Every structure is written in C-alpha cells, then in structure tokens.
Copies of this chain bind each other. A is one copy, B any other.
C-alpha cells in the first residue's frame, strides 16, 4: 500500500510550486495558447547546428527560465529531474552537463513530466531537498526523424497522427513560498490494449489514462467534481473521446471537467489532425496556461495526467504493440 491508497502518494507537507516556465517553437506560438508562453522561438533550430542541439538549448532555457523566475540561481537548486523522448534522453543529460546541479534522469515517454513532478514533490515533502526543478522537452524534428521517417521524405500525416510539440517546460518546486502546492500523485501501471499503429498514440494511451484516473479517484475517495479540471497530457481529439468513453463505462462522467493539453495547444487551422503530443506538450501547457490561471485564482484544483506511449522504433519493427502509461499529479491552490 502507498500512504494514500493503492497507487497514490499524499504529500503532507505541501511541496510548493515556486515557478513555472515554458518555451515553444514557432508553430506552438501561432496556436491559441500563445499569450501564456514565456518565450517563443522565431525559428525552430534555435540557432543551432542540429535539431537535437536546438532541443537541448530549449530544455536548458526552460530550467534557467524557471530558476530566474523564482529569483534564484542554479546554486540554489538541489536536484534537477528531467527527461525527454530522445534515445538515452540525451537532451536532459546534456542540459544537466551545463548546469552543475545533481541530476536524476527519467523516462516514461510523454508521461515523464508526471513522474518527474511526483519524484520532485517527494524530495521536498520528505525533507530530503529544498529546491528541485522538474523539466521535460520534445521537438517535432528530432522526434519525427527518430521515431518515424527522415524529415526530408516529407511523409504525410495520417488522420490519427499527432504533431510533436516543439517546446520545453520546467516547474520549480520548493519547501516554502507561493500558494500552489502538489497535493498527491498516483503512479500509473503499464497498460497494453494491443494498439500497434505508431500513428495512433491517442488510442494506445487512453486506457492507461482512464485506469490511472479511476484509481486516483478510488484511492482518494473523490468525485470528478473535486477538480476544476482533469488535464490529460496528449491524448489528442480521438484519444480524448476514447478516454471519456472508458471513464463513462466505469460510471464516471468527466466530459465537462476534462481538458487535454494536446488538444489545447493547436487549433484546427494548423493542420495537426489530432492535436499535439510529446514529452514537452503537457509541461509547456501546464507551466503556462494552467499555472497562470491557478496563480490568478481562476482555477483552484487540477489533476494533471501526462500520458505516455511506450515504444521504440525497434519495438515496432519487432512487431510489439504499444503499451501506455499515465501518472496523475494533483495541484491545489491555498487561499
């Protein structure tokens, strides 16, 4: 048993959100959430010689941005927890090389931000550390060529495709200050519904998201209405529909409360069939739109549920299906 039910941890000491920072590429900056982002790139190569180096600079900028926004310096940070989608999470590791902060690397695909926040909150809550950064990133061009096809092929997107978000987000957690805190976290299980289409991630992740949310509500004894919003990471339009139907089948009506970062970040004119995805998707949307509205008092409680599809190019080539995972992190605003 965990300290708050079967899969859920409660943080008694209310680890605080000291700051959040988001940096995005030009396509994301042309979307509906533009006013909320902290920094926008004019070109998605960020002045670097490769997209991988650009993603690394994005990741580093998000961490630095959060540290500066909290009025701190890197010396004040005890642990930097990070992850990304690239092989051997080189984006996060190479960012950590520049930062001189103890580093913990995580990977659970696009659900990594949830894992990082859960571990960060534990470090603070348990009195092990005082200040921790939790960051994730993704880049359309690095993900596309690693997971799918060379960019030069100009491969067309399928109707169920999602567009990997170019962006990085970082949340700085601390043991005091601010009025938004991490209340609890539910650690997800790996769920496989037998989806094998790498262009249909929403369907692969929806069952894991539904299962984690059901477990969170069970563990905490809460109704959906406890939260202003249940915010999934990157299910996209089709995946969100599936997610809501799966919850309905358990007698849970979440339609009015549910939002999906992948659906929110692009609008229909931007030609992303199902919306955004990527390890950076939930982190840029949470650290911009949601933290903004929580700070302003318009949103008091959210359950953030970053969702991940666990595959590699090789696992797909070897005929494996795509299991999903989702971690839920509950944030509350103290009055």
Contacts and interface: CB of A to CB of B under 8 A. Distances in A.
Contact of A90 (B129, B191, B312): B312
Contacts of A130: 1-2
Contacts of A188: 102-103
Given A88-B87, A115-B104, A122-B126, A190 B310 contact: no
Interface size class of A (residues with CB under 8 A): 35 or more
Contacts of A3: 127-129
A315 interface: yes
B103 A106 contact: no
A165 interface: no
Contacts of A325: 93, 96, 103
Interface stretch (A78-86, A156-164, A237-245): A78-86
A100 to B, nearest CB: 6
A220 B51 CA distance: 42
Contacts of A128: 2-3, 9, 122, 126
A126 B129 contact: no
Interface string A318-329: 101001010000
A94 B320 contact: yes
A107 interface: yes
Name A's interface SS: mixed
Interface string A1-19: 1110001010000000000
A315 B101 contact: no
Nearest to A321: B97
A187 B102 CA distance: 6
A218 B96 CA distance: 22
B323 A101 contact: no
B314 A87 contact: yes
A183 interface: no
A38 interface: no
A119 interface: yes
A175 to B, nearest CB: 11
A313 B146 CA distance: 12
Contacts of A103: 108, 187-190, 325
Q: Which of A9, A79, A88, A93 has the most CB of B within 10 A?
A: A88
Contacts of A106: 104-107
Given A87-B312, A100-B189, A125-B126, 10 more contacts: A50-B318, A52-B318, A86-B314, A89-B107, A93-B310, A94-B190, A96-B325, A104-B108, A104-B187, A105-B108
5 contacts: A2-B128, A53-B318, A93-B108, A103-B187, A103-B190
Interface of A: 1-3, 7, 9, 50, 52-53, 78-79, 83, 85-90, 93-94, 96-97, 99-109, 115, 118-119, 122-123, 125-130, 146, 187-192, 310-315, 318, 320, 323, 325
